[in-house]
Amino acid sequence: MVLQEWVDKETEELIHGMKAKGYLKSPAIERAVQAVPRWMFVPRNAIQRAYSDAPVDIGEGQTISQPSTVVCMTEMLEVQPGMKVLEIGTGSGWQAGILAKLVGSGGKVFSIERLSELAETAKLNLQNANIANVFVKVGDGSEGLKEHMPFDRIIVTAAAPEIPQPLFEQLKVGGRMVIPIGDLYRQEMLIVMKPRPGVVDRKTAGKFAFVPLIGRYGFKSGRPD
């Protein structure tokens, strides 16, 4: 079987499984999953596992989240064409690629990665996938990206002990943030909304497990004290 046939088959099976379990509901997100080849965002020695609904090690103690988690968070985010989105935790870039397809040519995705080697790999992955509207920065994601605020949407792909204040400040009024909050082992996914300046509305959306958000407004390290 040639590569494209295998990718098409694996993608179709993955999408079917996520729809059957109720994770994938949006036609726009389904098209984005089809358009961003996941195999291009995993290490070469893990390509055979690219379309399993499981996280994959991408080095530096980090993982590319399992597809159903990416889809769930993206559904919660309610991204629309033309939006400006901030992603915290680029990883290998697949989530950023999905967001880029959703915002379209009129929108932008800014993504912050703490680890420079992963950031460079993500840039290359996105370039190889012909995705041009993602801008990857190296830095402390818990501090956000003040120079490009405000953001219509913010997605945090690592766990924080509480909502980082800079991220909430950089969220546009009427905007939405999706972020896992908890300890180093287990977190609750929060959908955070900002109906008026300084006002936080939040609702919980299930239990998840993520790597920690390391930074000034996150965890100091990935190890328990």
Q: What is the mean pLDDT of residues 13-17?
A: 95
Determine the 3-state secondary structure of 41 from DSSP.
helix
pLDDT at 62: 85
135 domain residue, yes or no: yes
Prior bond of 37 cis (ω within 30°): no
181 domain residue, yes or no: yes
d(CA 29, CA 27): 5
Residue type present at position 29 = I
Check pLDDT > 90 for residue 209: no
Read off the pLDDT of residues 87-99 as tens digits, 9 standing for 90 and up.
999 999 999 999 9
215 domain residue, yes or no: no
Q: Which of 26, 65, 142, 221 is catalytic?
A: 65
Q: What is the mean pLDDT of residues 182-188?
A: 89
65 is catalytic: yes
| Helices assigned H by DSSP within the chain | 3-20, 27-35, 67-77, 94-103, 116-128, 165-170
CATH number, position 87: 3.40.50.150
Task: For residue 176, name the pLDDT band (cuts at 50, 70, 90).
Answer: very high
pTM of the model: 0.93
Read off the pLDDT of residues 57-116 as tens digits, 9 standing for 90 and up.
898 778 888 999 999 999 999 999 999 999 999 999 999 999 999 999 999 999 999 999
Structural domains in the chain (count): 1
CB count, 10 Å around CB of 185? 9
pLDDT at 1: 59
DSSP structural state of residue 91: T
The domain in which residue 180 lies consists of 3-208
